[in-house]
Structure 1
């Protein structure tokens, strides 16, 4: 496993990969050292130069944080180590495009397991090792409420990411200052 830290307009991100694809991603941190520690802890990877094959992904991440529409659907993600149910959830969530949202219950219904499995969908989202590239931020709670978010900054980070995509939610008060 390998990892690389790169800068964006929102801060430093970390990406990890192996032979089968991207295995981890860390949302922006204000310091490169923090991003490095986070991606190494998350992926158990050693730092390396970014391979050319991931250059397009990191450029798309940079565009995303500039507010430009970015599509990560072609990125090769390696989710083999996840529970089979989680893999099914991720396959559905991966179809969500820029500015498109759904709910945990709707994902469960699309899987044919019914809305009672919404909590299990939430567990899968909370265990997502590749946030942004696997767009768990686009999955909302019942009634299109922001719901939880396991990344640093929690629900406010999720709200900020959705705002970048033009999605506005009013179920939580906005904080006056925010940094990824």
Structure 2
């Protein structure tokens, strides 16, 4: 195991290199390369059967042959509100979309769009928990914190056939 107590792998993707961590039982994080860097790039890889399975499923997703992931994903940290947002996001399927307002209402917090946006942006397991599937009520893209930002989100939305506006 790595010095941070998790298994770690990296893999190429059409949106940049990905870095995944696991405790051996569940996926803990997925990072998308930003500006040529990954958060744990100085840490040696430590593969595990679960991360190998995740790499296969992500490769199939990017190839267009997989529309659902069959992986134990448990985002750690976050407030109770953030955990609630991440749980709702995990229920969205391939090609499905919601808005920040709809997410807030589904959690009993109407008018909390800004807080929802913060929780969506803090998702530690993007793609596997589809935070890219959240748009403004008028289907505008208002931002994306993963990878190269909005261009990364546009790629993911287009890949899933989700209509959007810039």
TM-score band by shorter chain is 0.7 to 0.9
Please tell me whether residue 64 in structure 1 is matched to residue 61 in structure 2. Answer: yes
What whole-Å deviation, never above 9, does each CA across 1:95-153 have from its counterpart, x for those lacking one? 00010000011011111111x11111100011111110111000111212112101132
> When the two structures are aligned, how many residues end up with a matched partner?
161
What is the CA-CA distance between 1:20 and the residue it aligns to? 5.1
Please tell me whether residue 85 in structure 1 is matched to residue 46 in structure 2. Answer: no
RMSD: 2.2
> Which structure carries more strand by proportion?
1
Question: What is the rounded CA distance, in whole Å, between the counterparts of 2:76 and 2:31 in structure 1?
Answer: 19
Runs of 4+ in 1 over 3 A off after TM superposition: 8-11
Contact 2:28 2:74 in 1 (8 A): yes
**Which among 146, 156, 161 is matched to residue 161 of structure 1?**
156
**Structure 1 residues 10 and 80: alpha-carbon distance in aligned structure 2, compared to 1, 3 A threshold:** closer
Please tell me whether residue 21 in structure 1 is matched to residue 26 in structure 2. Answer: yes
> Which structure carries more helix by proportion?
1
Q: Unaligned 5+ residue runs, structure 1?
A: 173-180
Question: What is the rounded CA distance, in whole Å, between the counterparts of 1:168 and 1:19 in structure 2?
Answer: 36
What is the CA-CA distance between 1:9 and the residue it aligns to? 5.2
Please tell me whether residue 12 in structure 1 is matched to residue 8 in structure 2. Answer: no
Please tell me whether residue 106 in structure 1 is matched to residue 99 in structure 2. Answer: no
**Which among 128, 137, 160 is matched to residue 133 of structure 1?**
128
TM-score by length of 2: 0.85
What is the CA-CA distance between 1:47 and the residue it aligns to? 2.7
Pairs within 5 Å for 1:27-66:
27=32, 34=36, 37-40=37-40, 46-66=43-63
TM-score by length of 1: 0.79
Contact 1:93 1:136 in 2 (8 A): yes
Q: Unaligned 5+ residue runs, structure 2?
A: 1-5
Contact 1:148 1:155 in 2 (8 A): yes
